[in-house]
Amino acid sequence: MSEQDEMKAPQPRLCPRCGTRISPDSIRCQVCGTDLRSDDPTRGLGGLGEVTLSLPLAIGLLALFALLSAGLTFAAVRFVGVGQSVTETPTPSSTPTQTATLQPTATNTPLPTPTPQPPIEHTVQANETCAALAAFYEVSVQAIVGLNNLTPECLLSVGQTLLIPRPTPTPTPLPTATLSPAEATEAACEKLPYTVQANDTLSGIAKYYNVEIRGIMDYNGMVNETIFEGQQLIIPLCRRVPTPGPTPTPTPPPPYPAPNLLLPQDGAAFTLAHDTVTLQWASVGPLRENEYYQVNVLDVTEGSGTKRIVEYVKDTKFIVPVSLRPSEELPHVIRWWVIPMRQIGTKAGGEPIYESAGSSSAKRDFTWSGAAGGPTPTP
């Protein structure tokens, strides 16, 4: 475009109110809205008087407004800082790391935990015991005693209210390849249920099944031997008392030889001057604790055999008591002999039982009279 063309082109105007440069053909100022079609500068303000601000003043007002805004912002920050301490957490810089690939792991499923239930209230009836209640409710006697603060004997009275704990469910153990020795013994134990009948006793039941009384008490949680009719018992047949085998019979010792009689000599005579007569014989050997000499003394003259003495001694001599001496003047024939004997038992009344342990000696005779006279026997 030439210089002449530029001079002929319309020149831009200035807004009479705000001084904004506008195009020549504009009819309204785009900044302050002044209507440029009339010479009255107040038409754009709806009849208000014109307010004219110079450019420096407008810049000053803007600066003042900026300072006021900054002051209010600073005061607001200080006020918030007094009421609440704001701690700025430094943002850690993230270092890129290599993500490891997770391997799937097997998770064991936990067993369900049983919810404990409240105890059962039970009123004691006649003839009931702690052992019977424990067997009926499938709990231990110790659990009943502990829950009710009872004595170890667990004595009950009719009408007494007891709290019976509910049996704790035992979780099923995981299968194992082999059982422990205790579990194997328990599993192998044969058990037999038994209902107590009238007039039954625990000792009678144990004797009938040949089972230890303590074994029955242990398997039924009993603290004493008291049972009642209708009670359910478990008889552990694995606790049977071993049947005793035949008792070995000791080999009896060989029989002893016949004792050799020493004094008095055969045919010796005794008179009223002799209060006693001493019998002597030779030993057959050391006697055992249950072995004796059986001394037999018999008044042959009496004939009826009422005057006879049988004694068992350990010594090799025996003194004939004066009670055997006759009261008549005529002499009586007294016969005596010795036999080794062995005690093998005792009768119901306490009288010992003997058997022969050897051969009998020869029999000897001597005379004894109740009147003085006759030769004195050689001792």
Cβ pair 312, 348 in contact under 8 A: no
Q: How distant is the alpha carbon of residue 229 from its chain centre?
A: 28
C-alpha triplet 363, 366, 369: angle, nearest 5°: 150
CATH number of this structure's domain 189-239, picked from the four choices 3.10.350.10, 1.20.1250.20, 3.30.360.10, 2.30.300.10: 3.10.350.10
Q: What sign does the CA torsion over 82, 84, 85, 87 have? A: negative
**Bridge partner residues of 22 (DSSP):** 13
| 3-class secondary-structure state, position 81 | helix
What confidence score (pLDDT) does residue 375 get? 46
Answer yes or no: same fold for 189-239 and 261-368.
no
| 3-class secondary-structure state, position 91 | coil
What confidence score (pLDDT) does residue 81 get? 56
Rounded Cα gap, residues 294 and 280, in angstroms = 13
Rounded Cα gap, residues 310 and 295, in angstroms = 6
Rounded Cα gap, residues 230 and 234, in angstroms = 13
Q: Structure tokens of 257?
A: 């030889």
Query: CA Rg, the chain, in Å?
Result: 66
Q: Structure tokens of 46?
A: 């709806």
Rounded Cα gap, residues 236 and 220, in angstroms = 10
Token pair 């805004």 in the structure block, residue: 69
Instruction: Quote the pTM value.
Output: 0.35
Q: What is the CATH number of domain 120-164?
A: 3.10.350.10
Rounded Cα gap, residues 216 and 274, in angstroms = 72
Cis omega (within 30 of 0) on the bond before 264? Answer: yes
Q: What string of pLDDT tens digits covers the 379 residues of the chain? A: 555 555 555 667 778 777 777 777 777 887 777 777 755 544 444 444 455 667 778 888 888 888 888 888 887 777 665 445 445 555 555 555 555 555 656 566 665 666 777 888 889 888 888 888 888 888 888 888 888 888 887 888 889 898 888 877 666 666 655 667 767 767 778 888 899 998 889 888 988 888 888 888 888 888 888 898 889 898 888 888 776 656 666 666 778 999 999 999 998 888 877 778 899 999 998 898 899 999 999 888 876 656 888 999 999 999 988 888 887 778 888 899 999 999 988 888 888 999 998 999 999 999 988 754 444 444 4
Q: Could you tell me the fold of the domain covering 261-368?
A: Immunoglobulin-like (2.60.40)
Domain spans of the chain? 120-164, 189-239, 261-368
341: closest CA among 287, 283, 293? 293
